[in-house]
Structure 1
Amino acid sequence: MPVPVISTDVLILLFGLLLVAGVMATRISTRFGLPALILFMGIGMIMGSDITGLIFFDDSNLAQLIGVAALIVILFEGGLQTKWSSIRSVLAPSASLATLGVLITTTVVAVAVRFVFGFDWIESFLFGAIIGSTDAAAVFAAFKGKNISPKVGATLEAESGTNDPMAMFLTILALDFMMKPDTTIWDGIWMFVLQIVVGALIGFILGQLSRLMLNHLRLDSSGLHAVLMISMAFLTYGVTAYLLGSGLLAVYIAAMIVGNADTAHEVTIVQFSEALAWIMQIIMFVILGLLVFPRQLIEPDLIWKGLLISFVLMFLARPIAVYLSTLGMAFTRKEKLFISWAGLKGAVPIVLATFPLIAGTENSQLLFNAVFFVVVTSALIQGTTLTPLAEKLGLLGPDKIRSPYTIALVSSKQSQHKLVPYAVTASSSMIGKTLADITLPPNTVVNAIVRNEYLIPPNGQTAIEEGDLLYVLASMYRHDQLDQTFGEDGLDRVEL
């Protein structure tokens, strides 16, 4: 049956409606604790041919392209906000979870799929590989603004940001075994080593280049620096993939280097990247929702098999992988339990599930539908219970302090100064003192105070109160000294 042609104006109208609906969906997500990806995919499914029939979409190649592009932006935004100081101490467990953990999860799920779906062993391993990684977009979204135990939160963020290469490697390896009978395990090992080494190396080199460009390249508008960094993210992925490395790993490493560098354009870059990441998330999940046909998901045979695999994944595969991957490491039983439950699935498994669709392998449509079902189940069950579980286990503190105001020094020229926010905690020795009583490093001044969500222009007689947010203008060369001085006085640096 011929597909009706939609005019450009109607396409633009639908695109606008989808974005508006996606933004409104985030309000529902926040209010009711539902993962946003469920609502975004739900919008796509409703707009698709099976329900309203507004849009017919079955282009796996385009869906994969949009998915990979979105993951580049999402990983870049996540890397920007990942501080080296917080993940340095959890590199070992994160790396173990991102490699050994993914392999163990893949293997356990593959065994279950072999007997539940009746696939052959290679197809079963392919399913396990696709569903084996923790999704960065889902984890970053779940933890945004939440004060999860620093060690646990940093471990999960680092794992989710770096485990995609392992999942992609295992997926491609399984497809190679299916499509190229002469493929050997040594080919797979060489592919994995090449992906990690090239990905890490190119990510480091282009991350340092990006940092140098930010600090020395003068552009006519501050916003162009943000555009430049996003462009560098896509360039990093492209160069790395061309050299047979892991583009996603390279993007995450490059973003971490940029995010941990002191630059006058930090606020502009972070805000632009966050906005673009939201847009790409909405587009990606809506497209993935359009790609699936809901009638195929409600078949009884798929439902009971999908639920069984979801059970194995959540209650067997992930916990076994976590406990074996963190043997001998300093995690409590409660922390391991939470890390086991926080193995959220999201965009990456669905995007990887388009690989066999494009390759045209046997059972590829069934595999895609089953992966989609498991992702939805994981998001609904794990995503909605993650915060209550953290609170129950004593791993959740008060929500992170975030200012209702965005105050930044924005200049088209290179500046050596930056506004840095600090929160006054209950233990601070500055409480009750006036600004005139406080000794600050040279060429440092408190420019603004946010108190009870109101902005106060300070003067020398302004007294500091608990909960105040101080915006300090300081030379970038003084930031370490400022962090040390304020840290000793009970002030915490606030994330932008």
Structure 2
Amino acid sequence: MLQEIIHTDTFILLTSVLLIVGVLTTKFSARLGVPALVLFMLVGMVMGSDVLGIIYFDNASTAQMIGVFALVIILFEGGLQTKWSTLRPVIVPSLSLATLGVLLTTGIVAAAAYFILNLGWLEALLFGAIVGSTDAAAVFAVLKGQNIKERIGTTLEAESGSNDPMAVFLTIATIELITAPDASIIKMVGSFFIQMGLGLLLGIIAGKLAVNALNRLNLDSSGLYPIFSIAFALLTYGITAFLGGSGLLAVYVLAIIIGNAEIAYRQSIFRFSEGFAWMMQISMFVILGLLVFPSELFTWDIIIKGIAISAILMLIARPVAVFLSTIGMKYTLNERIFLSWAGLKGAVPIVLATFPMLANIEGSQLIFNVVFFVVLTSCLIQGSTITNLAEKLKLTGPKKTTPMHSIELVTLGQVNTEMVEYEVETDSEVAGKTLLEIPFPEGALVNAVIRNNQLITPTGNTTIIPGDFLYILTAKKSKSSLKQVLTEKKTEDSVEELPESV
């Protein structure tokens, strides 16, 4: 009994240390110019048995379970942040990259793995399938808060959010061909379309049900709404996977629908999901770091082979896949170059690399080590240079501003009043006008104006300028009218005449 308590206490202590170290590494990542997820993996590797020897972990099954759970949360949070208005124009190229692009990448990398790793053709195809997709966790983490043009950023996010089903299908299908040579390829292809179709359909249905439930439920605390939304995401994944569909795709579609709908306690759900996604991201990459043994990874054999395959993946396979997948689509050369370089690898390939280990495929340990090395180099080299490349290719937009959102005033769901926070943009119609001149809906009241971190008590003659933060109390039924007033844009001529924020 005493030993069990000590074991539990030790587990809680180590978990707290890993999370705290993971959070602190995000501060250093910006200064070092290294993506935080690389540092998360390094934390796991250092804490593992090969370095400090604090934690011994080699359970691929547990790592796979934690990885899939974390991916559900990360995809849910990423989908919440995806705007339908920017997603709709890039759906076709994103799906093309998520399907044809993954196939092309898989084929080219498989050929490289056959010669470089001395694998059989099926094992080489398995390796290609594992690293063929762009990783959602890596893309969401690296692009978060960056001012990369919306069209390109959304293309990458939509591709990474929807290409996991293809990678999972190719990996499992290849394992079946290795372990059961008489497996039917035609049935496998049919199974893929069923998975995609079910994932899309159930994601849409779940999204509609979730929005309806969130708006109709009258829970006793605002803190229960985020928990309910996360539970709905996990339920959607579980039911879809149980029925043979793509659970990850269903969760991403569900999140997009919720994120673009007017729902109760929207910001509570968004902020909770963001924090939970960070926790899952830290946990997942630390666990994956623990799973690898540096003494086996950083051998000259793995390093040389890993660098060769990484170079082929980054400089040949991904660019070929992007250029062929976007033929006839309205992307410039610079945009295609950026999309080619931004095909980050991350958690999904490492999680998929545990599949052949669990299936006892010959050479599975070699495949896992090289996949991990490829992911490490991709995050380190591509992830740390994405922003600089976007600037050189002139694919950066204006500084990202804080969008209009609501602040929940009370914890009870019965009150139908919200406080709306809005940052005034340069081209906003309200900029340059006094509060009396702005046609606010009836009952809306500007409670405060924050300008250069200073509180201004508003009067009817207060002139609003770009950069101001407005805090407006309004009834929920008037929120859409208020949003229309605040988001209306000026003409180009009138924008030039606006006073600058001082």
- Relative to the length of structure 2, the TM-score reads 0.93
- Give the AA of the match of 1:238: G
Tell me the residue number matched to 1:204: 204
Closer, same or farther in 2 for the Cα pair 1:195/1:417, shift >3 Å? farther
Closer, same or farther in 2 for the Cα pair 1:476/1:193, shift >3 Å? farther
- 2:124 counterpart of 1:143: no
Deviates more, 1:438-447 or 1:119-128: 438-447
Name stretches of at least 5 consecutive residues in structure 1 with no aligned partner: none
Tell me the residue number matched to 2:334: 334
Closer, same or farther in 2 for the Cα pair 1:145/1:181, shift >3 Å? same
Tell me the residue number matched to 2:155: 155
Partner Cα distance (2:482, 2:180) in 1: 58
- 2:244 counterpart of 1:240: no
Tell me the residue number matched to 1:230: 230
- Give the AA of the match of 2:439: T
Q: Is the 8 A contact 1:264 1:415 kept in 2?
A: no
Tell me the residue number matched to 1:433: 433
- Relative to the length of structure 1, the TM-score reads 0.94
Deviations 1:220-247 (A, max 9, x none): 1111011011111111110000001000
State the secondary structure of the residue aligned to 2:450.
strand
- Residue 194 of structure 1: CA displacement? 1.1
Q: Is the 8 A contact 1:204 1:254 kept in 2?
A: yes
- Residue 10 of structure 1: CA displacement? 1.6
Tell me the residue number matched to 1:282: 282
Deviations 1:115-151 (A, max 9, x none): 1111111111111111011111111111111121121
- Give the AA of the match of 2:392: K
Q: Is the 8 A contact 1:448 1:471 kept in 2?
A: yes
Tell me the residue number matched to 1:164: 164
Closer, same or farther in 2 for the Cα pair 1:412/1:65, shift >3 Å? same
Deviations 1:83-122 (A, max 9, x none): 1111011111011011111111111111111111111111
Closer, same or farther in 2 for the Cα pair 1:344/1:258, shift >3 Å? same
Deviates more, 1:113-122 or 1:409-418: 409-418
Partner Cα distance (1:53, 1:436) in 2: 67
- Residue 441 of structure 1: CA displacement? 2.8
Q: Is the 8 A contact 1:73 1:276 kept in 2?
A: yes
Tell me the residue number matched to 1:105: 105
- 2:84 counterpart of 1:84: yes
Say what the alpha-carbon RMSD is for the aligned residues: 2.2
- Which residues of 2 match residues 275-424 of structure 1 at below 5 A? 275-402=275-402, 407-414=407-414, 416-424=416-424
Deviates more, 1:365-374 or 1:30-39: 30-39
- Give the AA of the match of 1:340: S
Q: Is the 8 A contact 1:130 1:171 kept in 2?
A: yes
Tell me the residue number matched to 2:63: 63
Partner Cα distance (2:474, 2:331) in 1: 38
Partner Cα distance (2:408, 2:105) in 1: 44
- Residue 432 of structure 1: CA displacement? 3.6
Closer, same or farther in 2 for the Cα pair 1:456/1:185, shift >3 Å? farther
Tell me the residue number matched to 1:269: 269
Partner Cα distance (1:5, 1:291) in 2: 25
- 2:23 counterpart of 1:23: yes
Q: Is the 8 A contact 1:79 1:259 kept in 2?
A: yes
Partner Cα distance (2:136, 2:31) in 1: 22
Closer, same or farther in 2 for the Cα pair 1:81/1:417, shift >3 Å? farther
- Give the AA of the match of 1:124: A
Tell me the residue number matched to 2:11: 11
Q: Percent identity?
A: 55
Tell me the residue number matched to 2:220: 220
Tell me the residue number matched to 2:134: 134
Closer, same or farther in 2 for the Cα pair 1:154/1:170, shift >3 Å? same
- Residue 267 of structure 1: CA displacement? 0.5
Partner Cα distance (1:174, 1:294) in 2: 28
Deviates more, 1:30-39 or 1:450-459: 450-459
- Give the AA of the match of 1:388: N
Partner Cα distance (1:284, 1:165) in 2: 19
- Residue 429 of structure 1: CA displacement? 4.7
State the secondary structure of the residue aligned to 2:148.
coil
Partner Cα distance (2:93, 2:478) in 1: 33
Q: Is the 8 A contact 2:199 2:250 kept in 1?
A: yes
Tell me the residue number matched to 2:498: none
Partner Cα distance (1:24, 1:320) in 2: 38
Q: Is the 8 A contact 2:406 2:421 kept in 1?
A: no
Closer, same or farther in 2 for the Cα pair 1:398/1:62, shift >3 Å? same
Deviations 1:35-83 (A, max 9, x none): 1111111010011000111111000010000000000000001111111
- Residue 182 of structure 1: CA displacement? 1.5
State the secondary structure of the residue aligned to 1:384.
coil
State the secondary structure of the residue aligned to 1:287.
helix
- Give the AA of the match of 1:382: Q
- Give the AA of the match of 1:25: T
- 2:197 counterpart of 1:192: no
Q: Is the 8 A contact 2:47 2:55 kept in 1?
A: yes
Deviations 1:170-220 (A, max 9, x none): 111111111111112202111101110111111111111111110001111
Q: Is the 8 A contact 1:445 1:473 kept in 2?
A: yes
Closer, same or farther in 2 for the Cα pair 1:132/1:475, shift >3 Å? farther
Q: Is the 8 A contact 1:126 1:174 kept in 2?
A: yes
Partner Cα distance (2:454, 2:248) in 1: 41
Q: Is the 8 A contact 2:407 2:420 kept in 1?
A: no
Partner Cα distance (1:146, 1:462) in 2: 33
Closer, same or farther in 2 for the Cα pair 1:47/1:202, shift >3 Å? same
Q: Is the 8 A contact 2:430 2:486 kept in 1?
A: no
Partner Cα distance (2:489, 2:43) in 1: 49
Partner Cα distance (2:410, 2:182) in 1: 57
- Residue 418 of structure 1: CA displacement? 4.1
State the secondary structure of the residue aligned to 1:446.
strand
- Give the AA of the match of 2:8: T
State the secondary structure of the residue aligned to 2:203.
helix
Partner Cα distance (1:260, 1:427) in 2: 23
